[in-house]
Amino acid sequence: MATNHSSKTVFLALAVNFFIAIVKTIISAITSSSAMFSEAIHSYVDSANQFILWFGIKQSKKVNKKVYPLGRGKEQYYWTLVVAVLIFTIGGLVSLDHGIEALSNPHELKNLYVSIIVLTLSIILESYVLYKAVKQLKQTNHENKSIIKLLKESTDGPLIAIVVEDFAATMGLLIALMGTLLSNFTGNSIYDAVSSILIGILLMVSGLFLGYEMKHLITGESISQNIKDKISKTITSNEKVVEVLSLKIVSIGTNSYLALVSVDYLDKLTDTEIVNLNVELRKEIQEINSSVKEIYFNPK
């Protein structure tokens, strides 16, 4: 199941980021590098975020039909939104503030070659996690679409968060490496401070993007128009159906949709025949897209 794959990706990202965070903390203390400090904060925030994502996945699997008749799938989106807020505030604002402080009060940087080695190794590790996350994202859609398009169409909140986080992490590491190299070659710490500011801005933009995507999923984003058209065509092609008056499909969790269908049946159909027809239509709809889990017909 998608949620199981998402859990594995979350744990992989958590393990990698926590290891990198500890190493960055040690190196930032040795070198006095603002960029490395920002990257350490970034990795700690990512580690905390991935724990929150895991918690959200676990919560969404709990079943209580009396209180949550459609399941708790959307709870993942709430916790992913929390992650977006943390990326923006703790990750972005702290890094930005530290970079501005370092720019205002420049200080000597030491042993930058150690930072360069650590940043290079971190880029390799983060790139691997990003590759695994993007690969999983592409598995849900066989069409040749851009990563941005896939992120916008995905209903897997934790996976979206991992892709966004690790893209930001990889880009942040590249920025930090560039700033460290320039500071090392020129002996000017301003490049290190500027890279810390850029990392802060990158995290804030990432947090805003993730929050924007979660807003759509929390408020009930619909399935793609192409699939809606296929479902509508399948229903109307049945000879016992006069017309589809309304078709509303909204997300209720990872790869899970609720469909509300208003149908005008032939007048001659009995109640029993309508019930049997709905069972038949439900099977046909789920053959088109198995992620439409809940289907309710409203006869007119």
* Per-residue pLDDT, 1: 44
Q: Are residues 168 and 269 in the same domain?
A: no
**Which CATH number do you get for residue 249?**
3.30.70.1350
Q: Are residues 87 and 103 in the same domain?
A: yes
Q: Are residues 65 and 120 in the same domain?
A: yes
Provide the angle, in degrees to the nearest 10, between the axes of the packed helices 2-31 and 34-60. Answer: 160
**Which CATH number do you get for residue 133?**
1.20.1510.10
Show which of 149, 184, 218 is a domain's final residue.
218
Q: Are residues 254 and 156 in the same domain?
A: no
Name residue, tokens 């005008």.
264
Q: Residue 125: what residue type?
A: L
| Domains contained in the chain, number | 2
Q: Are residues 208 and 285 in the same domain?
A: no
**CA-derived radius of gyration, the chain:** 24
Q: Are residues 67 and 204 in the same domain?
A: yes
* Secondary structure string (H, E, C) spanning the chain: CHHHHHHHHHHHHHHHHHHHHHHHHHHHHHHCCHHHHHHHHHHHHHHHHHHHHHHHHHHHCCCCCCCCCCCCCCHHHHHHHHHHHHHHHHHHHHHHHHHHHHHHCCCCCCCHHHHHHHHHHHHHHHHHHHHHHHHHHHHCCCCCCCHHHHHHHCCCHHHHHHHHHHHHHHHHHHHHHHHHHHHHHHCCCHHHHHHHHHHHHHHHHHHHHHHHHHHHHHCCCECCHHHHHHHHHHHHCCCCEEEEEEEEEEEEECCEEEEEEEEEECCCCCHHHHHHHHHHHHHHHHHHCCCEEEEEEEEC
Binned average pLDDT, 10 residues per bin, the chain of 300 residues: 67 86 87 81 86 87 81 89 88 85 80 85 90 85 78 89 90 91 87 90 92 90 90 93 93 91 92 93 92 90
Q: Are residues 198 and 284 in the same domain?
A: no
Q: Are residues 183 and 282 in the same domain?
A: no
Show which of 166, 194, 218 is a domain's final residue.
218
CB count in 10 Å sphere of residue 187: 11
Q: Which range marks the domain in which residue 259 is found?
A: 225-299
* Per-residue pLDDT, 66: 79
Q: Are residues 272 and 134 in the same domain?
A: no
Name residue, tokens 């290190």.
192
Q: Are residues 204 and 229 in the same domain?
A: no
* Per-residue pLDDT, 49: 86
Q: Are residues 284 and 162 in the same domain?
A: no
Q: Are residues 164 and 276 in the same domain?
A: no
Show which of 195, 218, 241 is a domain's final residue.
218
